Chain A
């Protein structure tokens, strides 16, 4: 496991330093460098380390989700939708974070889906106040 992780890190670092991530408009100043300077305080190297870290977290979290019963195909899409900060949270405390729902698994799923649909404005069956 450790060996795999180290290998993955080395491979990733190689890809990253090869310029795979070079943004299309390198000569433009990015928003995050202008309005959120703390995020890049460490400069380019810290940025790349953060990318490697996030990629490792992504693998860890995907494996952890699958181990907890999530369909492997869905798990990849789920981790891809997380921000680096969210990945870091899940990588370290997946089992400690609150998981809200219902005591009845099936009811819980349907209920959560309804909540999300409502909040995202797909349906508005609850809004008839």
Chain B
């Protein structure tokens, strides 16, 4: 699958990305980073058993960190939860050399808690975890900005906007991500859909104006920039928005309108 995506991943490469010889193991953050380097999206679950089993039900294996030490000595070990039997309260782990190790749920939880109930699913771009809240999606994807290919981020923001269709911020993020990925048509459609819902939306007005100004100094682009400036004028908005709106307005004023479009 990675090979098909044009990513070279050999076992040696991966070991070199995560193993720390002096620690004789790998840190959680580096596993997360390695999945991003492979072009996949890492999702930390909320640490509940319900979230974990929801992923299993969706066919997503879950990487967990367990303390398998004894007598109070910590020994950390990664395992993959590959199945659950809710009737018998048993989880199925791929752990060490055990391909299918059934573990009672309460024993599993006892080994899972010392590491903060750490649980990771790794999904292809454009797929969301089965059970994830909106804020976690935002945090995961904003953290991954610059660390995942723009196309991967765009596909995943788009999935988030589709799951929470009433959430204007996600729609905005999806449109921005589409633009960053070079899909200008999708970005433009996204901003326009936001404006259809809310004609005074400052974010959509400004970014659509900025997008259109890239391709031409049209009357529409200048009108949008003016509307964004008007929307920002009467409101208490963050400084970063205000300066972006001012920059857009300045661009719109400085550009040369096409002949016959004054």
Q: Report how far A122 CA is from B8 CA in the complex, Å.
A: 11
**Which residues of chain B come closer than 8 Å to A90, judged between CB atoms?**
27, 29
Question: Within 8 Å of chain A (Cβ to Cβ): is B238?
Answer: yes
B75 touches A27 (CB 8 A): no
> When the two chains form their complex, are residues A127 and B61 in contact, meaning their CB atoms are under 8 A apart?
yes
Distance in angstroms between the alpha carbons of A74 and B20 in the assembled complex: 11
For residue A108, which residues in chain B have a CB less than 8 angstroms away from its CB? 19, 24-25
Which residues from chain A contact B96 at a C-beta distance below 8 Å? Answer: 102, 111
Apart from A27-B251, A89-B29, 17 more pairs, CB < 8 Å? A26-B247, A27-B244, A29-B244, A31-B173, A33-B238, A33-B240, A36-B142, A40-B240, A68-B20, A68-B23, A81-B33, A82-B29, A99-B27, A101-B25, A115-B78, A116-B34, A129-B100
**Is B36 in contact with chain A by the CB < 8 A criterion?**
yes
Say if the beta carbon of A119 comes within 8 Å of chain B: yes
Instruction: Specify which chain B residues have a CB less than 8 angstroms from the CB of A18 in the assembled complex.
Output: none
A5 at interface (Cβ–Cβ under 8 A)? no
> Shortest Cβ distance from A45 into chain B, in angstroms?
11
Give the most central of A37, A67, A112, A129: most B CB within 10 Å.
A112
Q: How far is the CA of A68 from the CA of B30 in the complex (A)?
A: 14
Q: How far, in whole Å, are A122 and B122 apart by their CA atoms in the complex?
A: 11
B18 contacts A by Cβ under 8 Å = yes
Question: Which residues 194-240 of B have a CB within 8 angstroms of A?
Answer: 203, 206-207, 210-211, 213-214, 238-240
Interface string of A108-121 (1 = CB under 8 A from B): 11111111111111
Does more than half of chain B's interface fall in helix, strand or loop, or is it mixed? Answer: helix
Query: By the criterion CB–CB under 8 Å, are A69 and B172 in contact?
Result: no
Q: Is B189 close to A, CB under 8 A?
A: no
Q: Does B99 make an interface contact (CB < 8 A)?
A: yes
With A and B bound together, what is the CA distance between A3 and B9 in angstroms? Answer: 40
Query: Within 8 Å of chain A (Cβ to Cβ): is B192?
Result: no
What are 25 A-to-B residue pairs whose CB atoms are below 8 Å? A26-B244, A27-B244, A28-B244, A33-B241, A34-B172, A40-B238, A68-B23, A70-B21, A81-B37, A97-B27, A99-B24, A99-B76, A101-B19, A101-B24, A102-B25, A105-B24, A110-B11, A112-B14, A112-B18, A115-B79, A116-B34, A117-B9, A118-B80, A121-B40, A122-B1
